[in-house]
Amino acid sequence: MPLEPQPGTWYIVVTCQKCGSTVFVFRDLTDGKGSINATYSVTCPRCQQKGDYDGRHYQHSHKSSAL
Ligand SMILES: [Zn+2]
Distance CA 38, CA 19 (A): 22
Task: Please provide residue 59's backbone torsions phi and psi, each rounded to the nearest 5 degrees.
Answer: -105, 120
Distance from the alpha carbon of residue 31 to the mean position of ligand 1, in angstroms: 25
CA distance 67 to 62: 15
**What is the whole-number distance in angstroms between the Cα of residue 57 and the centre of ligand 1?**
18
**30/63 Cα distance (integer angstroms):** 22
Strands across the sheet with 10-15, in order?
Answer: 22-27, 10-15, 56-59
Tell me the per-residue pLDDT of 12-39, one tens digit each, with 9 for 90 and over. Answer: 999 999 999 999 999 999 998 988 888 9
The pLDDT confidence band at residue 1, using thresholds 50, 70 and 90, is low
Q: Where are the domains of the chain?
A: 10-59
What is the 49 CA–ligand 1 centroid distance (Å)?
5
Ligand 1 center from residue 22 Cα (angstroms) = 8
Expressed in angstroms and rounded, the spacing between residue 9 Cα and the centre of ligand 1 is: 22
